[in-house]
Amino acid sequence: MRTKAKRVGDQYKLIIENTQKVGEINQVRRVAARRFNLRKGIIESKWVKFKVKCLDILESAIIYDGPVTGTCRYKTGVRVRVNADMKGDIPYRLDCTDGQSATGTFAIRKTGPQSFIGVDTLKLDVKKTGKQICALKADVGSGMKSLTLQGKDLTCEDVLDAAVYIDGPAKASCPAELPVRVRVNARNQHAVGFNLKCSTGDNWNGMLKVAKTGPGTYLGVMTKKIKVKETGKIVCALRSTLTGVSKIVALRGKDFQCVARAIPPSAGGLTTGRPRSKPRKLLALACKNGTARNGKCVCKSGWKVRKLAPRRFVCNKPQARIRCVGGKTIRGRCVCPRGAVIKKARGGGIRCQCPRGTRLLRGICARPAG
């Protein structure tokens, strides 16, 4: 600390320069000055008490002012601020966990009664999703000392994959409506700003919600309809508008042809030259062995209905079950082996019997060998 004295009238005024002590302290010093009459020697005063006031930081802060979501790599703004007890310049340094650092100087200015503030603004790069923590340090005369810490969650909203699909037929009468589907595969769950523009003049802007559909899978889907008025190629482009930067992420084209449609007869009996088609006659419902009721052929209980032709039906009587001894029942009939004689059996059944001197061999009635 350097001091000097200046004579004012019959008194001396003490001037103090280059003070760097922290805080307000009361010190006792003996003031020395040269003789006013320029004679050699030293004039020594009594011990006096005077106040020394030095620059000190009272409060500090790190404030994120820029965007915290965007398409990586993007920049975010950080504002550093200190409140001091007097005017002055203080060097500072900002260190962040992702390896970024910046240096500068706070120019502390008076902003009001007993208010001295220094502010500086920085730009930091965001390269990946995660929490960024920054530490603010300042030099108040005894080297860099830590003032405050501040963290912020930063998100990369990258679109990993996107697609546009123009559905519907390739030919139709115009004007025609065709559905357009949009699918976006993103890095995480968030809303993607989009612009969908087609060559038909249709244009949409908005936010597409992306939801988690599986482990590590985040999809956003939407459907819009476009109006096609003429033959030609339809082109639709999907743009991502994250952090104000617009870029095409998907593009799709489709060839479409307008075809003529049939013109109905005009009112007043005038026609377009085409013959008026005659109304088709509705055939009466025929139901043999049954009853036509409410457009259906209703048969007796147990009878089965069979369709013969359009609106032509017949009710068939169920076949009685027969007992076939020595043969097989096929389609309601008793079929006997070849060479067998059909005879009536007891109880109304049928019996297949081989002639005398023969017997059933391999499904036929034959005489045994030898």
Beta strand pairing call for 324-325 and 69-70: unpaired
Query: Which of 330, 325, 360 lies closest to 342, judged by CA?
Result: 325
| Interatomic CA distance for residues 306 and 159, integer angstroms | 62
Cα–Cα dist 19/133, whole Å: 34
Predicted local distance difference test score (pLDDT) of residue 334: 86
Give the pLDDT of residue 270.
52
Burial grade of 359 (CB within 10 A; 0-12, 13-18, 19 or more)? exposed
**Residue 176: what pLDDT?**
92
Token couple for 117: 């503030």
Report DSSP letters for 60-87, one per residue. Answer: EEEEE-S-SEESSSEEEEEEEEEEESS-
pLDDT of residue 22: 39
pLDDT tens track for 212-269: 888 888 899 999 999 999 999 999 999 886 555 577 888 999 999 999 765 655 555 5
Q: Helix (H) and strand (E) counts for the chain?
A: 0, 33
Handedness of CA 62, 67, 68, 70 (dihedral sign): negative
The count of other CB atoms within 10 Å of the CB of residue 212 is 11
Tokens encoding 124: 């930091």
Taking phi over 0 as left and psi of -120 to 50 as alpha, with beta for the rest, 148 belongs to: beta
Peptide bond between residue 367 and the one before it cis (omega within 30 degrees of 0): no
The answer to whether residues 76 and 130 touch, using CB atoms and an 8 Å cutoff, is: no
Q: Name residue 337's amino acid.
A: P
Six-digit token pair at 204?
A: 């949409």
pLDDT at residue 28 in the model: 47
Instruction: Supply the pLDDT for residue 36.
Output: 47
The model's pTM: 0.39
pLDDT for 228 equals 93
Q: Please, are residues 229 and 174 in contact by the beta-carbon 8 Å criterion?
A: yes
Give pLDDT, residue 163. Answer: 92
Name residues of the chain where pLDDT drops below 50. Answer: 17-36, 38
pLDDT per residue over 147-165, tens digit each?
999 999 887 766 778 899 9
Residue 25's CB: how many other CB atoms inside 10 A? 11
- The CATH number, out of the four listed (3.50.50.60, 3.30.9.10, 2.60.40.10, 3.40.640.10), of the domain defined by the range 159-258: 2.60.40.10
Q: How far apart are CA 290 and CA 302, in angstroms?
A: 12
Question: Is the omega angle on the peptide bond into residue 169 within 30 degrees of 0, that is, cis?
Answer: no
Say if domain 57-156 classifies as CATH 3.20.20.70. Answer: no
Q: 324: closest CA among 360, 351, 355, 354? A: 351
